[in-house]
Amino acid sequence: MIGVPVTAVFFGVMLLFLVLAVMTVYLFAARDSQERKMKKADSYLLRNSKRWYQVLRGIETASQELVPSDEAELAAVEEIFRAYLTNVSGDKIKERIQEFADVHLAPFYRKKLKSRNWSERMNALYRIEDFGMESLIGDVRRLERKKLTADERFQLHLIDLQFRPDGFMERNATRLGDLSEYEARQLFFLMPEHVFNETVAMFGKLAPVLQYGLIEVLGMRQDLMRLRFLEELLDSSDPEIRIRVLRAIDAFGIRTPDRILERAFDSPVWEERFLGARMLRRVPADEAARYASRMRDDPSWLVREEIRALSVRQRSPEGKMAVLR
Amino acid sequence: MENVMEWVMKFFGVVIFTYMTIVILAYSGMFLFAFLDLKRQRRLDRRELDDQFIDAFYSKPVTVLVPAYNEEAGVVGSIHSLLNLNYPQTELLVIDDGSTDRTAEVVIRQFDMVRAEKPTESRLDTRQVRAVYRSQVHPNLWLIKKENGGKGDALNVGINFARYPYFCTIDGDSILDGNSLLRVMKPIMTSDGKVVAAGGNVRIVNGMAVDHGVVSDIRLSGRPLVVMQVVEYLRAFLMGRIALSRLNMVLIISGAFSVFSKKYAFEAGGYNTETIGEDMEMIVKIQRLIKDKNMDARVEFVPDPVCWTEAPQSLAVLRRQRRRWHQGLLESLWRHRGMTLNPKYGSVGMLSIPYFWLVECLGPLIELGGYLYVIAAFFMGGIYYEYAVLLMLLFILYGTVFSIGSVLLESWSLNAFPKQRDVLRMMALSLTEVVWYKPLTLFWRVEGLVRSMFRIRSWGDMERVGATKGMSE
């Protein structure tokens, strides 16, 4: 019948159980070690929280005792810095954190940047950005030459923007085309004003994904000075750009100029007509009614529905108030 | 006669051994995949990611749908957990699917609700909506009362009423960790919408201390039946789904916690109201839509965000649940049988669906046959005795070893159960899995298979014990 390797399978299963037993011992030992680390970190926090408060407020200078001696104490210092950066912050505090991190924490992160473990490298990159550690720029740039994941690459862009904002777009415009739009938006939001202005100025040279992200950010920033620039983009042959522009203008929360509404309603793209219909919320009722009657038989169900919803809204007290606003 | 018997034993022996070998190899591959993936992310400081996504400028607003049918015991806890979500922009729709208990009353009273109007797209046909209420305390919380039509119908009502482009489905008896929605949305946000559905990790809440919809103390249930389900969930979520997700072959993400693009849900025709397993059906429909229309889209499973759900505590309820799940699985596979081994559907059609047919759907029949084979072989003695031992060893390898491996993998990477005693208990119970829990669930799943064939359909109510209020033990 079938050749039955019972003994072989038996020993195979026993071997696997042995491996699992070893893994269990390893896991529990690792947990114990982790717990010891956490206790050490807690003890550091208990000992030094008040002194850190004094140091970060500039009342006293950081003594050698505050310098972390190992990973556990490093974790405690990270907690303190994160808490101050998130909850208190302020330029002076940031400066002091940066100074301390550059001198005393850099060796830890330099080592982590070389780690084979992706999450260790990512954590190091996050900290370099959070604590503004300029001393590690050289190490970060060396990392650029290696094969990196998309997450690492994005983090490198954030660090580059933070430490070398001037000429950021010229240096990176081509490479930034690989970002997702979400990442591009994040980058644009973090840009200092002059870099952002430069980016807007080179709009035509940007990859589509960056163009889309930039338009969204312009809408979110609600900077009325950019209205003319956005309006010019309505001449684009890319319907996605036109749709994004209309959405950005809608996000401004102003009464949309008639010329923009006309262009939206004349568009063969239903999304543009839909956004036009949505913009009618901020148009006085009689004018809105004129557009509404024109769009009532639109071929797109969503446009018709938006027009219908508009009529209902404008009859309600809330809607009247919104129009007045 | 002896020859016939020998031939029968040989035939079934070959079938069962071949099946077990395929399954063990597939599971080993998926285990390895999960191990490598979790190893990579193990030390990542996820708070950094959470901080990035929490900014409303970057995130996408989400409508959370909570279908509730006779969820009086757990619905308030669920809503509290959802109101505590760490997410910049959500609206919360509780859809009371014609409950016969006091689900709606409890929600209206607890959250100070009044009648209200809400715009609806009405693109999906549903049973009639009776009334819409809005909370005066939490203006983003709504209750929609409708005629009973099943979970799929309730979700369709929710999709029609949803204001935002993404919706998240949560069972009425489930609670979410604070950052769960943020984390499950991450692949959707970072992929610029190419991820059109994502599901999180579902864990069992029975035995945990729960305070106002938040799991405040992680403790393993004292009941062996619940502990076995905890292990089973760990195995299924960590091993199977991580690997399938990386290969874009996901066919199931739990309806207890999943996020969908509303656009794709509409295009797929919403939830099927006829099928028992509406969550799997929805994913299969979306996968089908993606391939049919050649769209650049995918479905992902995210292991980190956690949803806590209540598990059956009695054999009778567990039996009904497993029967129902299996019926749902078979119905979906049958409905989309055209995708099986169809190259048009890529890896989903060529690998994922055949895997679900062979291992998840027909597997219980073969495995139960294996148990019967072991018993028969023991009685027949001689060479068959060896077969019986071999098969038992394979069952141990397939059941116990992978279960213990999953418990260890989870403890090492995500550490959901920090107490060593709990980990040891899960491992100890896994050792007993092949002699009681496995045969029982196999039998129930085969029952589901048979019921499907004879078109016997009953949903079977899940009796709630209020585990989401910390009342299960």
What pLDDT band is residue A244 in, cutting at 50, 70 and 90? very high
DSSP letters, B314-365, are SHHHHHHHHHHHHHHHHHHHHHTGGGTT-GGGHHIIIIIHHHIIIIIISHHH
Q: Per-residue pLDDT averaged across B391-407, rounded? A: 91
Give the residue from B298, B188, B196, B194 showing the smallest Cα distance to B247. B298
Distance, in Å, from the CA atom of B344 to the CA atom of A29, rounded to the nearest integer, reads 50
Query: What are the angstrom distances between the C-alpha of B387 and each of A17, A164, A279, B1?
Result: 21, 70, 75, 20
> Which of the pair, A2 or B130, is modelled with greater confidence?
B130
Domain parsing of chain B, residue ranges: 2-38+349-469, 46-318
Show residues of chain A in contact with B190, CB under 8 Å: 180, 182-183
Confidence of residue B468 (pLDDT cuts 50, 70, 90): low
The predicted structure's pLDDT at residue A56 = 94
Distance from the B265 Cα atom to the nearest Cα atom in chain A, whole angstroms = 16
Residue of B nearest to A23 (CA): B408
Question: Which residue among B192, B383, B411 sits closest to A27, beta carbon to beta carbon?
Answer: B411
Lowest mean pLDDT among B51-55, B268-272, B333-337: B51-55
Summarize pLDDT for A134-168 with one digit per residue, the tens.
999 999 999 888 889 999 999 999 999 999 999 99
How far is residue B230's CA from residue B202's CA, in Å, rounded to a whole number? 10
- Closest-CA residue of A relative to B59 is A182
- Taking contacts as CB-CB distances below 8 angstroms, the residues of chain A near B58 are 182, 185-186, 189
B383 touches chain A (CB under 8 A): yes
Please tell me the predicted confidence (pLDDT) of residue A323.
Answer: 44
Position A321 confidence tier, pLDDT thresholds 50, 70, 90: very low
Interface predicted TM-score (ipTM) of this complex, two decimals: 0.84
Q: Shortest CB distance from A220 goes to which of B57, B390, B404? A: B57
User: Who among A13, A117, A209 is closest to B401 (CB)?
Assistant: A13
Q: How far does the CA of residue A180 sit from the closest CA of chain B (Å)?
A: 6
Which residues of chain A neighbour B386 with C-beta distances below 8 Å? Answer: 4, 6
Question: Across the A/B interface, how many CB contacts are shorter than 8 Å?
Answer: 92
Whether residue A183 and residue B44 make contact (CB cut-off 8 A), yes or no, is no
Partner residue opposite A1 with nearest CB, options B10, B191, B389? B10
Please choose, from the candidates B259, B241, B94, the residue with its C-alpha nearest in 3D space to the C-alpha of residue B183. Answer: B259
Distance CA B305, CA B350 (A): 30
Q: First-to-last CA distance in chain A?
A: 87
- Is the per-residue pLDDT at B349 higher than 60? yes
Listed as own residue / partner, the contacts of A270-275 with beta carbons closer than 8 Å and 24 or more positions apart are A270/A298, A270/A299, A270/A300, A270/A302, A270/A303, A271/A239, A271/A243, A272/A239, A272/A242, A272/A243, A272/A246, A273/A298, A273/A300, A273/A303, A274/A300, A274/A302, A274/A303, A274/A306, A275/A243, A275/A246, A275/A247, A275/A250
CA B209 centroid distance within chain:
22
Chain-chain contact of A4 with B412 (C-beta, under 8 angstroms): no
- Predicted confidence at residue A1, as pLDDT, reads 46
Q: With beta carbons under 8 A apart, name residues in chain B contacting A180.
A: 190-192
Band (pLDDT 50/70/90 cuts) for residue A261 is: very high
Q: What is the pLDDT at residue B127?
A: 95
pLDDT at B237: 82
Kindly give, in sequence order, each residue whose CB lies less than 8 Å from that of residue A204, ignoring residues fewer than 6 positions away. none
CB A178 within 8 A of CB A170: no
- Alpha-carbon gap: A139 to the closest alpha carbon of chain B (Å): 20
Q: What is the pLDDT of residue A191?
A: 95
pLDDT band at A314 (very low <50, low <70, confident <90, very high): low
In angstroms, what separates the C-alpha of B405 from chain A's closest C-alpha?
Answer: 7
Question: Does pLDDT of B453 surpass 70?
Answer: yes
One-letter amino acid at B207 equals G
- CA-CA distance, A3 to A186, in Å (whole number)? 62
Higher pLDDT, B114 or A315: B114
Express each pLDDT in A268-301 by its tens digit. Answer: 999 999 999 999 988 888 888 888 888 888 998 8
Contact at 8 Å (CB) between B273 and B328?
Answer: no
- pLDDT, tens digit, 9 for 90 and up, residues A83-100: 999 887 688 999 999 999
Q: What is the DSSP string of A200-267?
A: HHTGGGS-HHHHHHHHHHHHHHT-GGGHHHHHHHTT-S-HHHHHHHHHHHHHTTSPPPHHHHHHHHH-
Does residue B11 have a pLDDT over 70?
yes
- B408/A16 CB distance under 8 A: no
> Hunting for tokens 């994913």 — which residue is that?
B283
CB neighbours of B130 closer than 8 A, spacing ≥ 6?
Answer: B145, B146, B147
What pLDDT sits at residue B455? 78
* Cα–Cα distance for residue pair A292/A277, rounded to 1 Å: 8
Over residues A189-204, the mean pLDDT reads 95
| A119 closest CB neighbour out of B17, B44, B420 | B44
Q: Which pLDDT tens digit goes with each residue over B417-441?
A: 989 999 999 999 999 999 999 999 9
- In our burial notation (b when 16+ CB lie closer than 10 A, e otherwise), range B3-32 reads eeeeeebeebbeebbebbeebeebbeebbe
| Closest residue, chain A, to B412 (C-alpha) | A27
CA distance to partner chain A, nearest, from residue B428 (Å)? 12
- The reply to whether residue B387 touches residue A4, judged by beta carbons under 8 angstroms, is yes
User: What separation in angstroms does the CA of B423 have from each of A35, B221, B407?
Assistant: 16, 12, 7
pLDDT score for B466: 62
pLDDT in the model for residue B460? 52
- How far apart are alpha carbons A264 and A245 in whole angstroms? 11
Chain B residues with CB under 8 Å of A220 CB are 57
In this predicted structure, the answer to whether residue B402 has a pLDDT above a threshold of 90 is yes
Contact A117 B121 (CB under 8 A): no
B382 Cβ contact list (under 8 Å, min separation 6) = none
Structure tokens given for B86: 């760490």
C-alpha span between B305 and B46 (Å, rounded): 11
Determine the distance in angstroms separating the CA of B332 from the nearest CA of chain A, rounded to an integer. 31
Using CB atoms, pick whichever of B14, B191, B397 lies closest to residue A16: B397
**What pLDDT is attached to residue A325?**
39
- In the prediction, which pLDDT does A322 show? 47
Closest CA to B397 of B369, B444, B421, B430: B430
Which residues, other chains included, contact B306 with Cβ-Cβ below 8 Å and sequence gap of 6+?
B176, B177, B180, B200, B201, B202, B203, B416
Strand (E) or helix (H) holding B294: none
Window 26-65 of B: residues touching A by CB (8 A cutoff) are: 40-45, 47-48, 51-52, 57-58
Cβ–Cβ contact B401 with A under 8 A: yes
On whether the CB atoms of residues B80 and B107 are closer than 8 A, the answer is no
Q: Rounded to 10 degrees, what is the CA torsion of B443, B444, B446, B449?
A: 170
Chain A residues with CB under 8 Å of a chain B CB are 1-2, 4-6, 9-10, 12-13, 16-17, 20, 23-24, 27-28, 30-31, 82, 86, 117-120, 122-123, 126, 130, 180-183, 185-186, 189, 209, 220, 305, 309
Show residues of chain A in contact with B412, CB under 8 Å.
23, 27, 30
pLDDT band at B383 (very low <50, low <70, confident <90, very high): confident
Tens digits of residue pLDDT in A39-59: 999 999 999 999 999 999 999
**Which of B16, B404, B414, B431 is the best mutation test for A, with the most CBs of A within 10 A?**
B404
Nearest residue on chain A to B13, alpha-carbon basis: A2
Three-point CA angle A269, A267, A204, nearest 5°: 85
Asked if the Cβ–Cβ distance from B40 to A117 is below 8 Å, we say yes
Share of chain B above pLDDT 90, in %: 66
Residue A324 has pLDDT above 50, yes or no: no
Q: Grade residue B315 by pLDDT with cuts at 50, 70 and 90.
A: very high
Query: Which chain B residues touch A182 with a CB distance below 8 Å?
Result: 58, 189-190, 192
Contact B327, B361 (CB under 8 A): no
Q: Are strands B62-68 and B166-170 parallel, antiparallel or unpaired?
A: parallel
Task: Find, in chain A, the residue whose alpha carbon is nearest to that of B15.
Answer: A2
Nearest to B48 among A17, A126, A185 (CB): A126
Pairwise CA distance, residues B287 & B299, whole Å: 8
- Closest approach of B387 to chain A, Cα-based (Å): 7
B128 touches chain A (CB under 8 A): no
Query: Domain B46-318 adopts which CATH fold?
Result: Spore Coat Polysaccharide Biosynthesis Protein SpsA; Chain A (3.90.550)
pLDDT at B382: 74
Q: Are B405 and B413 in contact (CB under 8 A)?
A: no
Residue percentage of chain B with pLDDT more than 70: 96
Per-residue model confidence as pLDDT tens digits over B262-282: 999 999 999 999 888 889 999
Question: In the numeric block, which tokens belong to residue B346?
Answer: 């890529």
Residue range B348-366: average pLDDT?
A: 95
CB contact under 8 A, A1 and B411: no
